[in-house]
Structure 1
Amino acid sequence: VCPLTLWGQQGNVQPFSDEDSSIETLSHCSSLSERTSAAEEAGETEEMAQEDFQYKLKVYIDSTVDKSAKTRQGALDGLKTAMATKILYEFISERRMTITDSIERCLKKGKGVEQCAAASLACLLCIQLGSGIESEEVFKTLKPVFKTILNDGAANIQARQACATSLGLCTLVAEDDIMDVFATMECFESLFTHSYIREDGSRPSVNPQTTQLHTNALLSWALLLTICTGSHIRVIAQKHLAKLPRLLENDNVNMRIAAGETIALLFELIRDFDYDDWEPLCEQLNALATDCNKHRAKTDKRKQRSVFRDVLKAVEEGDFQSETIRFATERMVIDSWVKKRTYDAFREFVGSGMNYHLQANEFIRDVFELGPPMLIDSAALKAMKSSRLERHLYNAAAFKARTKARNKFRDKRVDVGEF
């Protein structure tokens, strides 16, 4: 370490050397080699850590059939967190039917929160397995259970809401027959159409929780629109495009937004569709984009205005406000309503792990046309981290020594001033 120099009271430069601070500086810097060795040892024990992690996952899987509902809930949440934040294809592939059986049991025999967790886990399982025979087998087992709960008016409403969302994404990932996709869409239609304002202007009597169920069904229906054939989309547009604007008058802001985004998606998918009520629709969208209704919460109005400005541009100009997602050394541009609906659907389950899955999950990368996962040289990455650590430790040590030396010097100046 170079000698520290400070300006004296006379303005001349004088060397300052403090034995204690020098020893402390050397102590901090010499600890670098110890920490580097610790990092190397950590790399050597990575395999042990992986074994420990897999052991915990096995305990979670076993605990999904525990007699205690609290234990089952904890196990489901633990598996969800693991699948959302790591790529576990090999581990899961070997145990997919065991996990599927556990999900089915929790959906059938669990209550409310447990059913919601099981439904979410089903989606994460399909996301991990990707599109293929393995996820198809999982979905064939779970689809009838999803639909039974979804259509059961006496079932727990939160469970029905979760099944509406999970059925949509699992169908996108794992359904192998387009006719079955259409059948599932009809199942969703049978729900959200109950929120349509009637032709005579009267409003259906729907409570907030049921409205949320209808909203989830509409969003899943819109998700499956993205994989429909052009001819089928035209049939759907002729059937629903004149009625979907009725949902824009719903009292629930989430339903209004879901309806607006679905309308924008339909216009994007069939740009040359002959729509008779185009001008009234634009007026309605413009009213929502500039909504000043005093009876609505400020946050709801702010969120609504932002969305409907984009929806209005989509309908009037065929425009989309693009967004860039950055992850690792890559970036993805969301430049269409199709891509936005798909991205939002995956992110709902993966959450904060979305960027990691965009980087490493081959299936999700294929969905967004990102190509094979980019390989990063682990040795170079470790060297870069080591270099950063070295600079950080050196700077921290030098700063501490400098501060200590200056404080002592200031103390001496005070002493001199007092005489």
Structure 2
Amino acid sequence: MPRARRRDGPRRGGRGARSNAKMESAASDDEAASEVLSHYSSASEGTSVAEEVPGGDVVDEQAQQEEVEDKLKECIDNVMDKSAKTRQIALESLRIAFSSKTLFDFLLERRLTLTDSLEKCLKKGKGEEQSLVATVLTLLCLQMGSGPEGEEVFRSLKPLLITILTDSSASPIARQSCATALGMCCYIAAADMEDLVSCLACLEGIFGMSCSTDASLVPSHHSPLLQNLHCSALQSWSLLLTICPSTQIKKILDNHLPKLPLMLSSDNVNLRIVAGETIALLFELARDMEEDFFYEDTDLLCTKLKALATDSNKYRAKTDRRKQRSIFRDVLHFIENGECHEETIKFGLECMYVDSWARRRMYNAFKEILGSGVRHHLQNNELLREIFDLGPPLVLDAAAIKASKISRFEKHLYNSAAFKARTKARSRVRDKRADVL
């Protein structure tokens, strides 16, 4: 199981005249945001080497990079703007930039300014803005890595994240993002057991209501927004389990393995699935410590898992049933046979195998926060490459990159051939004259 940690700590967005003015102002704000995002999007498509264009000119990557950095500096300044809309546009631009590119050098000298700005936004912002700030904070921590810089970012905003997360009067959306941010930032940058234990306890306090034996606190009594919060808290908690020392895992097994199956009866499909995956993760961690680990209620647990793996209740959405059955078949198979479904993740010229529940939880956590940028970070972000044992980033020359790509024309020919073959196959099946076996 990979660990990305250092020292002795844990492993690891007139009346008519006024109305027109407002509309024009809103339009100009949207145009500004569109311009920032389009500039960054076009820049992020560039490769790590200069490429020749049809006219024979060479793309000036340095000038392009400077233009991108100027836009990012403007976004960082706008995070402190008086207008809530301008702040959200700036935060959304930063979110896209941080998830699409590795920017350690650029952010290194600006992290204190940006951290201070994010802290002020968390304090005075509301709902959606707070949620966006928490996401940007997570990405900033991911960019800084597990060294002193990342630890500094985490330590400065950890108390505020916990305050919002545990405030029942705060926006559920903001609390949900803070739950994700607390777990991810602790996983990346926590330097000692005290940070890890306090974050685990905080997250337990949130999702614990969904696995309470008190009838008034059963999952069916919770609103969808509260269930989503519990789901995020449980995901963050299970992520932190992957860096817990064995002594801590033993306590968690005793306290939570009997309780977590209660969440399998939730009417929220995502909460059921996360609970099932967490149970599988606990079994995996327990078997890592004791090969002959035995849980006395395994038969009862397997009965519940089998029911979810074969659930055909019509009141559930078809996509929910399909997703649930697939996950719980994997969970049941692992608990009964100890075999984990293997997934292959391809990025650039490399591939990575997700062959354990711990790696699955880690990869899904990064994929959720990075979105489509996860492959870029797997290729270039030293933190992720250390966590997943990928070694230093590959240094490729122009010839290697060009050889790994197929041209647009070749892709078009392939798609055309595949379309024709598919059409012929379907026509034969649909033809009433076809033989019926």
Short-chain TM bin:
0.7 to 0.9
In structure 2, the residue matched to 1:332 is 352
Bigger shift: 49-58 or 271-280? 271-280
Contact 2:102 2:143 in 1 (8 A): yes
C-alpha displacement of 1:195? 1.1
C-alpha displacement of 1:202? 7.4
Alignment of structure 1 residues 296-311 onto 2, 5 Å? 296-311=316-331
Deviations 1:379-413 (A, max 9, x none): 6546988x958x98xx9xxxxxxxxxxxxxxxxxx
In structure 1, the residue matched to 2:76 is 61
TM-score (norm 1): 0.81
Q: Cα gap change, 1:40/1:360 in structure 2, threshold over 3 Å: closer, same or farther?
A: farther
The 2-side partners of 1:131 and 1:202 are apart by 38
C-alpha displacement of 1:142? 0.7
Deviations 1:93-133 (A, max 9, x none): 11011111111111111111111111000111111111110
Alignment of structure 1 residues 170-181 onto 2, 5 Å? 170-181=185-196
Q: Which among 329, 340, 343 is matched to residue 320 of structure 1?
A: 340
Is the aligned partner of 1:370 residue 2:390? yes
In structure 2, the residue matched to 1:253 is 269
C-alpha displacement of 1:36? 5.4
In structure 2, the residue matched to 1:27 is none
The 2-side partners of 1:201 and 1:63 are apart by 46
Q: Cα gap change, 1:135/1:308 in structure 2, threshold over 3 Å: closer, same or farther?
A: same
In structure 2, the residue matched to 1:210 is 226
Alignment of structure 1 residues 24-103 onto 2, 5 Å? 38=54, 40-43=56-59, 45-103=60-118
Name the amino acid aligned to 2:139: L
Contact 2:209 2:217 in 1 (8 A): no
Deviations 1:198-233 (A, max 9, x none): 266973521111111111111111000000011210
Deviations 1:228-255 (A, max 9, x none): 0112101100011011100001111111
The 2-side partners of 1:321 and 1:162 are apart by 29
Is the aligned partner of 1:239 residue 2:259? no
In structure 2, the residue matched to 1:162 is 177
The 2-side partners of 1:160 and 1:168 are apart by 12
In structure 1, the residue matched to 2:367 is 347
Larger Cα Rg: Structure 1 or Structure 2? 1
The 1-side partners of 2:153 and 2:238 are apart by 23
C-alpha displacement of 1:196? 1.7
The 2-side partners of 1:189 and 1:111 are apart by 25
The 2-side partners of 1:103 and 1:84 are apart by 17
Contact 2:231 2:270 in 1 (8 A): yes
C-alpha displacement of 1:41? 2.5
The 1-side partners of 2:403 and 2:364 are apart by 36
Q: Which among 167, 175, 198 is matched to residue 183 of structure 1?
A: 198
Q: Cα gap change, 1:210/1:230 in structure 2, threshold over 3 Å: closer, same or farther?
A: same
The 1-side partners of 2:403 and 2:386 are apart by 31
In structure 2, the residue matched to 1:125 is 140
C-alpha displacement of 1:317? 1.0
The 2-side partners of 1:95 and 1:36 are apart by 33
Name the amino acid aligned to 2:304: Q
Q: Cα gap change, 1:36/1:378 in structure 2, threshold over 3 Å: closer, same or farther?
A: closer
C-alpha displacement of 1:46? 1.6
In structure 1, the residue matched to 2:10 is none
The 2-side partners of 1:181 and 1:388 are apart by 48
Is the aligned partner of 1:269 residue 2:285? yes
The 1-side partners of 2:100 and 2:217 are apart by 47
Name the amino acid aligned to 2:282: L
Contact 2:210 2:217 in 1 (8 A): no
The 1-side partners of 2:157 and 2:306 are apart by 42
The 2-side partners of 1:39 and 1:259 are apart by 57
State the secondary structure of the residue aligned to 2:341: coil
Query: What RMSD in Å do the two structures reach over aligned CA positions?
Result: 2.1
C-alpha displacement of 1:274? 2.9
State the secondary structure of the residue aligned to 2:267: coil
TM-score (norm 2): 0.78
Bigger shift: 190-199 or 314-323? 190-199
C-alpha displacement of 1:275? 1.2
The 2-side partners of 1:124 and 1:336 are apart by 25
Q: What residue ranges of structure 2 are gaps of 5+ in the alignment?
A: 1-50, 414-437
C-alpha displacement of 1:368? 0.2
In structure 2, the residue matched to 1:228 is 244
Q: Cα gap change, 1:201/1:126 in structure 2, threshold over 3 Å: closer, same or farther?
A: closer
C-alpha displacement of 1:180? 1.7
The 2-side partners of 1:239 and 1:37 are apart by 62
The 2-side partners of 1:236 and 1:256 are apart by 19
The 2-side partners of 1:70 and 1:238 are apart by 48
State the secondary structure of the residue aligned to 1:41: coil
C-alpha displacement of 1:64? 0.3
State the secondary structure of the residue aligned to 1:270: helix
Is the aligned partner of 1:104 residue 2:119? yes
Name the amino acid aligned to 1:241: L
The 2-side partners of 1:229 and 1:37 are apart by 53
